[in-house]
Chain A
Amino acid sequence: MAERSPRIEVAGTVFRVTGLAAPGRAWVEARYGPFLSRRAPTVTLEVTARERYHPGRTPRPSATWSNGHFALASLPARADGDLARRRVRFRSAPGPALNPDLFRLLCGFLLMQAGGVLLHASAVVDRGRAWVFSGPSGSGKTTIAGLAGARRVLNDETIALRPGPRGWAACATPFYGSGGPSMARANARAPLRALCFLRKADGFGHRRLSPAETVARAFPEVFLPKRDGRVAERLLAALTALATAVPAYDLSFAPRAALWEHLDGLG
């Protein structure tokens, strides 16, 4: 009997994960549970081997892309694939069967191919539309997710932004931050209301950002290495499209629920 291959759906891409032994499958199904899918796969992920661990300094993640072939590394895990064949070889490190750091890099790379970006951000859905809050570690992404109250949190660390025929959408991902697995409980999406780049303060304030400022603020928060010319070019195009379509703000905030009233007052 053929082994059952788990399917994971992230921001519209459905990965069929093959090559896992039973313990690996169980780990994947537990770790990515809310994102398991029954939809037809769009990408096959072949977990082929496990890289040996090489002690020493861990190099920075990398992404290269040429002639439809790409290679990603979040060492010691690596992935390489062919965009036309929609197949990816995924060589995990010892430990998790589907290394989350590398899987996130892969999701970001494939999302970029669809014109989207995977952003270091939290997102909260208020009255059907998503506010996305971005910034470096410590800027308050998880804090804001904790202020959501009855509003739906899409994630406290990693949000997929994807263009579509009816505008940009914010999509949940399974890559949560310090808020833990409770921040990735459901695979949901919502139309994008606005992007906010955070700074902690004693009160509330905001400034509308120009499209160029928006790209400059978002660029370092995208989960992709930017040291490949084609990757950087495609990323710049995606961010430019986002910044010209969606309002963005520099947002100062205090950790109080009055935040939502302040956001109501934005244009």
Chain B
Amino acid sequence: MDSAETFPVRKPVPWRTLDTEALLVDVKGGLLYPLNSVGARIWELCDGARSVEEIVGVLAIEFEAPEATIRADAVEFIERLADVKLVSIERRRRGESR
């Protein structure tokens, strides 16, 4: 995954945040996915306007952890969301419109 040119986009599924956690419903499977505070923040940031690299940058400011760890965890988490089709992945160069 080239994190500077990869733009994750949330699918329009029912979701909400409760305190710092998030709950997403996979309507196709009728399943609910609870996310912890880091997962919830990543989900919020998957708006299609930010690349994975930019998401990692935001997380590095907001959470105390080495950036390399945050990057590895964020990439893995976004790939898992893509696997269960809760996000789609757009690939484009920075500055290109959607």
A: residues with CB less than 8 A from B are 210-213, 215-216, 219-220, 225-229, 232-233, 236-237, 240, 243-244
Q: Which residues of B contact A211 (CB under 8 A)?
A: 18-19
Within 8 Å of chain A (Cβ to Cβ): is B27? yes
Count of inter-chain pairs, beta carbons less than 8 A = 58
A262 vs B93: C-alpha distance in the bound complex, in angstroms?
60
User: Chain A CB within 10 Å — which of B13, B27, B30 has the most?
Assistant: B30
User: Interface SS of chain A: helix, strand, loop or mixed?
Assistant: helix
Q: Is B16 at the interface (CB under 8 A from chain A)?
A: yes
Chain A residues positioned under 8 Å from B22 (CB to CB): 212
**Interchain Cβ contacts under 8 Å between A and B, 13 examples:** A210-B21, A211-B19, A212-B22, A212-B23, A225-B30, A226-B27, A232-B14, A232-B30, A233-B25, A236-B14, A240-B18, A243-B18, A244-B18
Give the size of the chain B interface in residues (CB under 8 angstroms): 18
In the assembled complex, the CB of A165 is this many whole angstroms from the nearest CB of chain B, namely 24
B28 touches A227 (CB 8 A): yes
Alpha-carbon separation in the docked complex, A215 to B23 (Å): 8
A212 touches B28 (CB 8 A): no
Q: Are B30 and A227 in contact (CB under 8 A)?
A: yes
Tell me the bound Cα distance from A10 to B49 in angstroms: 48
Q: Mark B9-53, 1 if CB is under 8 A from A, else 0.
A: 000111110110111010111111010000000000000000000
Complex alpha-carbon distance, A227 and B30, angstroms: 5
Residues of B within 8 A of A220 (CB): 31-32
A227-B25 Cα distance, complex, nearest whole Å: 9
* CB-nearest residue of chain A to B15: A236
Query: Closest residue of chain B to A211, judged by CB?
Result: B18
- Chain B residues near A216: list those with CB within 8 A: 23, 32, 34
Given contacts A212-B21, A243-B18, 7 further A-B contacts (CB under 8 A): A210-B19, A226-B25, A232-B13, A233-B14, A236-B16, A236-B32, A240-B23
